[in-house]
Amino acid sequence: MDRIKEFLNFEFFTIKDFTFTVQSLFVILIAFLITRVLLWIIKKVMFRKKDIDFAKRGTLASVYQIIAYTAWIFTILIVLDSFHIKITVLLAGSAALLVGVGLGLQNTFNDFVSGFILLFEGSIRVGDILEVDGDLIKIRKIGLRTSEAFNRDDIVVIIPNSIITTNKVINWSHQSKKTRFRIKVGVAYGSDVDLVERLLIESAREHPEVVNDEMIRARFSDFGNSSLDFELLFYSKNIFRIENVKSDIRKTINRKFIENKVTIPFPQMDLHLKSDDTK
């Protein structure tokens, strides 16, 4: 027993009135281990249902992040208090340092504040599909300083939180479950307009990712320089991979146009040459 006490009281280092011993190390390890176990249990309880819908899962992920950050802050405070380290003394002693750091790291602190806004406000959730700077991304983690997402090429994108909170961001997940998209196509002058519209609608109806067949529309949008311009409008739930859906529909349109002898023109330019009659 005496050997155990002697081992626990073994001193690593001493700073003024504070002595760091083996017992202190065990206190830190146990506190952090308890916190990890509690967070693991909380996460298991929160996500125990496998059939949680998309929106609720994103909300639960944000709530869990808040709980996790709060738990770690309390753990650190409890550990410091157990060592009789006064937080107020630390803050007062480092006030000047914090001011200097704050001036040099304004953007970083802005990202931290933005992280809290995202987590508490809930306007952006894990799993949401965003359009940021023209790039479509899917959020997979919201952190305090940065958020992680992946784009349609499955490349992980790290985004400072301040970009999401201060810039114009389109949240496609805030739409209804389906979103309307459009495909533009031009046909040669002299083509049967009614036939073109019918072929466009048929092409969209044949794709399994297109929903609400009665909402499919084909519009004769304009008289172009070398073509009659049309728009095909359709609804789909596959927002993130919609370019694949559009590609499939374009292939169908091209096939149907060939079968029905509808021509897609290429840009043409008339060149007029004048002869020099002075010679």
| Ranges 45-59, 150-164, 168-182: which has the least confidence | 45-59
∠ CA 191-196-200, nearest 5°, is 155
Note the residue count of the chain: 279
The yes-or-no verdict on residue 184 having pLDDT over 90 is yes
| Ranges 102-106, 107-111, 247-251: which has the least confidence | 102-106
Pairing mode, if any, of strands 210-211 and 217-223? Answer: unpaired
- The predicted model scores a pTM of 0.57
pLDDT score at 212 = 86
pLDDT score at 180 = 87
pLDDT score at 200 = 95
What is the distance in angstroms between the CA of the first residue and the CA of the last residue of the chain? 121
Q: What is the pLDDT of residues 108-160, one digit of tens each?
A: 667 777 877 787 777 788 888 888 887 888 888 888 788 889 888 888 888 88
Q: What is the rounded CA–CA span in Å between residue 249 and residue 254? A: 9
pLDDT band at 198 (very low <50, low <70, confident <90, very high): very high
Which of 99-108, 149-158, 231-240, 251-260 reaches the highest mean pLDDT?
A: 251-260
Of the candidates 154, 157, 116, 151, the one whose C-alpha atom is nearest the C-alpha of residue 137 is: 151
Q: What is the 3-state secondary structure (H, E, C) of the chain?
A: CHHHHHHHCCEEEEECCEEEEHHHHHHHHHHHHHHHHHHHHHHHHHCCCCCCCHHHHHHHHHHHHHHHHHHHHHHHHHHHHHCCCCHHHHHHHCHHHHHHHHHHCHHHHHHHHHHHHHHHHCCCCCCCEEEECCEEEEEEEECCCEEEEEECCCCEEEEEHHHHHHCCCEEHHHCCCCEEEEEEEEECCCCCHHHHHHHHHHHHHCCCCEECHHHCEEEEEEECCCCEEEEEEEEECCCCCHHHHHHHHHHHHHHHHHHCCCCCCCCCCCCCCCCCCCC
Q: Per-residue pLDDT averaged across 201-211, rounded?
A: 93
pLDDT score at 248 = 95
Q: What is the rounded CA–CA span in Å between residue 121 and residue 223? A: 47
The yes-or-no verdict on residue 245 having pLDDT over 70 is yes
